[in-house]
Amino acid sequence: MESLIRDKIVDHLMENELISDSQQGFVPGRSTVTQLLQTLGDWTSLLDQGKGDQREHYNIGSTALNVVREEKDLGIIIDDDLKFHKQVSNAVNKANRVLISIRRTFQCLDSTTIPKLFKGLVRPLLEYGNVIWSPQYIADAKAVERVQKRATKVISRIKHLPYKERLKHLKLPSLEYRRKRGDMIQVYKITHEVDRLNPDHFFQLADSTTRGHRYVTAVFKYGTGMQPNSGGAGDDRCEPLVLKKEDHMTMTTAVKTRTDKGAYGMASSRLINKPTKSSYAP
């Protein structure tokens, strides 16, 4: 009953435009993730334009505000170079502490209980908002995956098996695979306007003669000798990729593309089909 009343109130507010368009929570198509995506998109646009080279100093009256290298917003630690090392370390440490508590608390840890406990208590700590801070460095990606490796070794009967075999036995996908899948879902939600975000803010449609649909996005590759929008010499290629719709959902992967400025943008990377039973590799 409460949810029905809430839905009616929200519908009335939306139909009469009584909610600001900047409202991110408690409205359809908006969430903390969409708010962070929109904010990060604005920041990277400024970096692409070369406006992030100089640090501004702000005052409240005669009091100067302190300059900080990182800030926690909506549970995600954002640093000034957008590398997210601190966020990865923080998420891994939290997940490891919970995993230790599980090992100390539960006596029966087998192939039935471990997946449930891991998926319910540990994995959410490693995946909250990861479409924003998905590890772009090998060391960070390994640190995140190591948590699940450690969890699968808790079961003495299979701890001697390779990691891929342990995942197959427990019917768990790798965390890297889940991040790619989450990126694909987010790309689909943006391009198909499930989330109330402007697709043009994140993607650029490619000039293509591909038949079937209009979801063809461009990937821009910058060489080391060229800055975005700088007009300098370098490798500047545009490669169209297709977002297909089949019986199973096939979508392009959204990846963080790093430029020499340290800017990151959502870009479609490659086509990934629905996983098979043997695709639980890290």
74-114: pLDDT as tens digits: 889 998 888 999 999 999 999 999 999 999 999 889 999 99
Report the sign of the C-alpha dihedral through residues 233, 220, 128, 105, in that order: negative
In whole angstroms, what is the distance from residue 51 CA to residue 62 CA? Answer: 26
Residue 259 pLDDT exceeds 90:
no
Residue 263 pLDDT exceeds 90:
no
Report the Cα 198 to chain-centroid distance in Å: 17
When comparing pLDDT for 258 and 124, which is higher? 124
In which band, very low, low, confident or very high, does the pLDDT at 198 lie, cut at 50, 70 and 90? confident
118-166: pLDDT as tens digits: 999 999 999 999 999 999 899 999 999 999 999 999 998 999 999 999 9
In which band, very low, low, confident or very high, does the pLDDT at 210 lie, cut at 50, 70 and 90? low
Q: What would the DSSP string read from start to end of 248-264?
A: SB-EEEEEEEE-TTS-E
pLDDT recorded at residue 20 = 75
Residue 13 DSSP SS3? helix
Average pLDDT rounded to a whole number, residues 34-48 = 81
pLDDT recorded at residue 213 = 67
In which band, very low, low, confident or very high, does the pLDDT at 67 lie, cut at 50, 70 and 90? confident
Mean pLDDT, the chain, rounded, equals 75
Residue 70 DSSP SS3? strand
Residue 220 DSSP SS3? strand
HSE-CB at 3 with a 13 A cutoff on CA atoms is: 0
